[in-house]
Structure 1
């Protein structure tokens, strides 16, 4: 909000002859009372009376300026709230230059530059504002007693427009005078120049252009910032120019300046206003004179170090005043920094005042001390150019003695000359590359040598030479130098996958594309370049005859700011490299072509010819003799003779093809025909060649070859026979692969089935409170199915026998009623999940079949699973067991999908599903029913399927032969096996798996045994030194030393040391070869995992001493 209070000196003068009170609007973020402070500061520091108003950032500033006269604005800015700069931009947009604005803010050079470029006339550091600095700034900003208020802006603009119109009318006269003026100034050694109202150069004489190293066109319309003057010096000069325009007064001052060409000095300059007829300032003329020698002479004469210090503190170059320390031998051994200026602190990044050089850099080169000592002793200045590794920049140092002959003080002035050094280095580098061009003659050598030098010189990751395929829009990189850690980018790249249309359009405009960061530049596809670890690059397109031919690329693995001299260098290199490459390639191609043609006449298995259509003459190589047994010199050198030797059936076709080739637009041809050999036989030949055209597009020469392909024609017939044999071999290989796939499918099918009741009952045991009876039942189901799965794992070794029809069965007497009940338990969860009703009808008579109980349960389970899978929710599955004379019959019926009559004969085939829809809906590999048929037939039975069609369900019937009744009775009377008593038995258990080790140990301890365990074979050897077991159980697969090695080492011991201890191998290695290896190593028994506890107890009983 605006503050209605104002602060001014009372009773301002009303007389127009006296300076009226100047009104200043102070804008701050909270409309604070800082105006009171400024009023107090200026009360006695200025003869001018000031009237202060205050307002906030969000106040009615524009309305305030329009309602009452305001001579100037003070804008307060505060970090980190940058709204002050937003207000500054807004004021410039609304008020333009009608009201001068002074910005007061933090001590930050970047903020000062930002304020001045935004239109502020001055920038004051808040902590350094004094009465004097504020008064001076206001006087500079408000040049006239009355000032220019916002109400007068319109009139000023009209005056400015009128002035500009008058200047336009005088343009021709001014041009004539300008030429005379330039001619006169060309004879003056001082620097003479002219500024326009914007503070930009409109004229510069030649001596100053030489100092800058620029042309007039490069300097005109530039200000001091554009010409890369140091920021402080550029800001000073631009303010002084503005002051002359505003005040109309001549200004004289001095400054120290080091030019881009490396010339440094102290200069005196005068800015003089050039007035128009109405007294207004039209432009500002300037002249500068080099007063370096005069200043140095004056400084040497002065004894006051204060003035010397003041001089160098005001320069933009770095400045040190040092005291040189000498030892007793009058040798300079150290340097103490007495004082420094702000520019030096900014350049080196630290204030070394009061510090010794030996402390700052203990490894400083002794030669620097010698140079300082020489300057002190001789009094002569020294100029040096040195490279600083710490920041990779070049500096120009000038050392001069300060004071009389006894003084040991030295002034050091230094500046950054990196740009000049780069220009010099670039020129030398280009000269070196030119020498390589003169020396190298092969394109690969040129790219390899030049690419490596460019990469090393510019510290690149990759330097790549790309050839552009304009039709396919590809960049083909045939060669690229790269550092060992960088990617080799040799490849073919589709341009649109890496860059946008904006990039391509710039390249088509022959513009150099500079990318500092591929991950943020909108012209590049970030992920593509990230994959190549390219984060910055410069691409220079090369055009020839208006066609984009090449692209020179330099890459960096990190984001990088590319210097302008680097960009100019790579542009110049592109202009030199690619023309040279093209010339080298043309020369090499020509030489290669000539050599190839010469050698081809010997290397080609046939005749090479060259037909000159203008003369009709045909050159034929000695290959003619190899082709048809005639020498070239013995036959006419024309095309008609050859036509007489072509087979009559082929002649018309050949002549038509030749005519078509000569009249067509192509440049290559090939065809086959027959010619007569000298022995009278016909041979097949292959004729191919190339057409050479004149500049008018007419065919003038035909160069080609004719080759005998008679043997090839015969080989083609033989190849067809070979292909037929290969197809047969491939079909056999595919059949072998199919058997392998069937093996893998069986593995998956067999292993997964028992997991369902195991996982289901396990989850119920963990998540539900079951009765003890149910818990016992659940554990029984889990144990039974785990045993089934364990048996299936053993059977995996016999799967290959299944596919070959050689699976052996573990036959016992099997009660099919129990088998059906076990299978029903396996699928019970699936039945419940689909709410399928199960109906069972089992004959209670006890009749047995001979077979493998697990395999028969697998048969019933597969049929039940098949029924459940194809029966919809709420359906019904029926199971019936009946005995028919000498056979048991199992019938499983469902109310499911049914079977199509066409598919019914194939229902038991391996990998067969009725159609793709069934496969997608119900899954499966088509193995279940195939296994059912195989297993049933292996048991001497039969299985069949029946269905009335789709939608009517299906019935599967299994018939198995029954055992005679007397065998069943005998089986019922078999006595149970006696139990094993392990009480007092000492057993050593060796296994690297802690779970297995603990389980076996726990089980054996329950049986009364005393158990000692070992986690490795080496630990077991140690245990045997203090423990004599009665029995040893050992795993086979263990790290460092396996069970075989352990057992061989145990058997090498004496009986007293336990060398004869009975041993059982417990292992997951279940093959026949594993069994033989275990027995050979010294084990008495070989039991596979998972271990059947009953089997383990039986084995222990058999080998127990």
Structure 2
């Protein structure tokens, strides 16, 4: 129920001495279920500067009726009601009343509640704890424009004064009421006398000072301890009122003695006597601290609004909506636009109509703005602007009171967000494709087609980078029908520069808008593929660049950030998925290979579970050991029982080390027992499998039979050892040969010196007969030495080729030893060496070649004489010790070092091979001795106690049976050889040799013609018709072989059958064979003994009469 008793002040009575002012009284309805609080709000209004008729209502059921019947000018609506439904009351009032009174809502400090109230139509919203008389009155007066002055306290005073003139009793009664009212209101009320002293002070001001009325009355501002400056100002203002009769109004800041500070508004008003004289000054002071703060807050809010308006990133503009007579929105006009809106749209549309604003130019916006104005409800929209192809988010809200036609619009560009949302949906769709596709080519074709259509691309390719980082291999690619198929291998340096490669190796995405202008690309090669823009996203694995996702366009293109983000996100999904697909395919292929390998491997494949101790073994176990895996235990221990006992301990130690160490693999070789009992060498290779915690849980490997390989290795080691020995021997032989060649050079040159020297003396000096004989002896001896050296070399050559043959007969070793002694007799006499011989007188024969056996004995005797110093002793013994004949030659000479003794019979070995050696020779004599002795079935040994203690050589040769050892009759003397009348053709390009042979043969009675060349010989042959031809081999233009072949091609009448001897310095076995093959009957090497040559010629002539 409405309270008919208003709290407004009684109607003032008119006083003669007060100016009369009519104050319009406003009817205010307070809706609050709390009566006490409603009374307090009424009281606050009554204490404000204004005239109000207060109505209160606890329920909202009769509010509409009261508004219609009582002429309510304003409503104060308290939201703290049961159910909080009073905010909804505003909607009902607006819909049921022709004119809804302005409504002030009072509630909690709740922003959302305030927004609800204001959106519902409230004129203002006040926070309950901050409501004062001033804020309440200001809110009402702002809501209710008034055209009259507020009478305030002056009207009340005039009313009171007018009432006092009626009667003293009424005056006393009014005075009491006045004092009571002044004592209860929060404003400070007071009176000053002519001296500026307080004569009345109401209680609120006394409370501020902390004084009683008695303590305050009669004192001025100085005496009440006001600051001097403030006290002086107030006293001047009081005096000014008394003097001028003018009202003084001002504000000041004051801190009371009790420490209460505030901002105060005060009015000093003159009180006039009936004659118009100022008798006193009335004052009132109001605490306006809250209002000042509110005003400051309002200014700050306005500044914030203006700052927000100009600085927010969102676009903001205000429009006025124009309606026609049918209340239909027909146009809008933009009244204000912030800078952000101008930047977003690209134009300032202030003052323009809707059709001129590109952002909202469509006619459908009339209805949208009209709806916001009519309902007062905000509207949020997401719209696509066709003109600039961008998305915007709009929020429209009505501004002002119910009659306002102004709408505020906040908007922002959400194109990127919409693209992100579309990209997210696209990626979600791609993820679904990943879930159902399992092949890499299917994934690339599907993803490539979708991203190509979505971003309007030409090609999408997935490239794998080779290990060197030089080539890109594209196995998977999607392309439009009109674009190039880029599957293939590409050398990176032919398409991109080092700057591109540096970026992708640093895991940077490369964006190229125009391949023909970008310095990182090779323009002509991209042009050939019709690629003019691309994005390349690298993928790295384990720190290495492995793949590239390439997005290509056939036209230059500016890539948007959301597109690049999408491509990056796509690569983040596609790379792991493709890698997983490849790994799954590789795993499947690996498993298939593993399955096949268990059949292909010549051994057993195993999988050992360390946690259970169980081991899987393939059927290869049977091929390896003759045991089927299903016939034996699957436990690891079974295998251990098959390992060779000598290998078990070491193998277990190695395996434990592997399991505890950081390696993930191992290789062992050991032996296992086959089912038939024999041992196999096996090679065991395995890999350790770890769980996610890094623990080894499985061991997978294979065991193969390497028995054959081990045998081959052993054989190879033996072969290598033999080869090593052979190489060492060859190296030693080479070293010996090198030393031998040095010795040969020395030994061959040494005899030349006396030969050349004495020959020159014989030609240039007159020597006596004795010196001539001596010179000729020296020359002959040294020539024989050279011939012997050459013969030794030839013998060694024959021995090495196995071509040395023996002319075996029964040989008397006694005669052989005596002949050898005669040969060295001169050397023995020259060194005064004592020769001691002990020859068994018995006559026994050995089977052999007399010349070769004499060569053996002569070699041993020569060495003994050579190495025995002057005055030394050489002992020669011949003994017959069945079944051997033994020849011992001992000397007191140089001896043999123990280290050299095992090598004394080696070819080309000399104990002293240095340039300072004391004794000459080639180091071949003893080698020939051993070979010839062994060729005769005998043995030869050397013994020496060391250097300086002499040496003993013992030769054992098998004896012939006694019945074959008979006395031989002396051979008949060889008849003398006669060459008289023998026609001989001598062919040699060397003048000296040719002349010597011709001269010598002529001395023997032969008829000789000499030819200096093969051609000359052919010419001589046909006219001379020789009995025999002697020809050199090494000649210019045509050698002896060629000459002989040409001769043999002639007829018998032309001399084609003439006997021929090859007389040459080419003394090798091959030379002998070549000479016989060319047509020579005999091969004689230079130098040749004259007697040997005569015998050969005579024998050959006799054989070919």
TM-score class normalised by the smaller sequence: 0.3 to 0.5
TM-score, with normalisation over the residues of structure 1? 0.34
Bigger relative CO (Cα 8 Å, ≥ 6 apart) = 2
TM-score, with normalisation over the residues of structure 2? 0.34
